[in-house]
């Protein structure tokens, strides 16, 4: 089965301060949680291996199959607004590092049950978003 890898780096302050003990949930395209991880003192999760379709799918211009798998990443930590990233792509044989910058909950930033959602646009026919 072809796979790729992914690691998540959670920080705050535009990447300046690592966030220790954040919870990171990795879900597949069907919404099934495939990994639940915690960040270390450097704000890093362990590297996880995820399914990715065969890279041979990208060799034909006439295929309707994606040459990558799509995942959603949910990052939570008490004191920070949760962040959901949709459309994270994983390619066969490739490793990725996903930076996630959390915003602290304050009276000004928090609107109750708010969550920051980031949508990564799909790749077009040219291979560009």
CATH number at residue 45: 2.60.40.1120
Domain with 60 in it:
3-119
Residue 13 domain-assigned (yes or no): yes
Residue 84 domain-assigned (yes or no): yes
| Number of separate domains in the chain | 1
Summarised one tens digit per residue, pLDDT across range 69-127 is 999 999 999 989 999 999 999 999 999 999 999 998 876 666 667 889 999 987 764 45
Residue 127 domain-assigned (yes or no): no
Residue 32 domain-assigned (yes or no): yes
Residue 125 domain-assigned (yes or no): no
User: Structure pTM?
Assistant: 0.87
DSSP per position, the chain: --EEEEEEEEEETTTTEE-TT-EEEEE-TTS-EEEEEE--TTSBPPPEEEE---GGGGG-TT--S-SEEEEEEEEE-TTB--EEEEEEEEETT-EEEEEEEE-B--TTT--SS--EEEEPPPP-TTS--
């Amino acid at each position: 089965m072809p796979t790729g890898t992914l690691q998540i780096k959670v920080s705050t302050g535009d990447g300046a301060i690592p966030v220790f003990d954040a919870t990171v949930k990795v879900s597949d395209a069907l919404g099934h949680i495939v990994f639940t991880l915690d960040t270390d003192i450097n704000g890093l999760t362990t590297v996880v291996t995820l399914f990715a379709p065969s890279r041979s799918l990208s060799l034909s211009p006439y295929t309707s199959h994606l040459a990558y798998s799509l995942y959603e990443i949910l990052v939570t930590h008490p004191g920070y607004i949760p962040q959901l990233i949709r459309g994270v792509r994983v390619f066969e044989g490739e490793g990725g590092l996903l930076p996630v910058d959390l915003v602290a909950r304050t009276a000004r930033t928090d609107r109750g049950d708010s969550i920051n959602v980031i949508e990564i646009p799909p790749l077009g026919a040219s291979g560009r978003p």
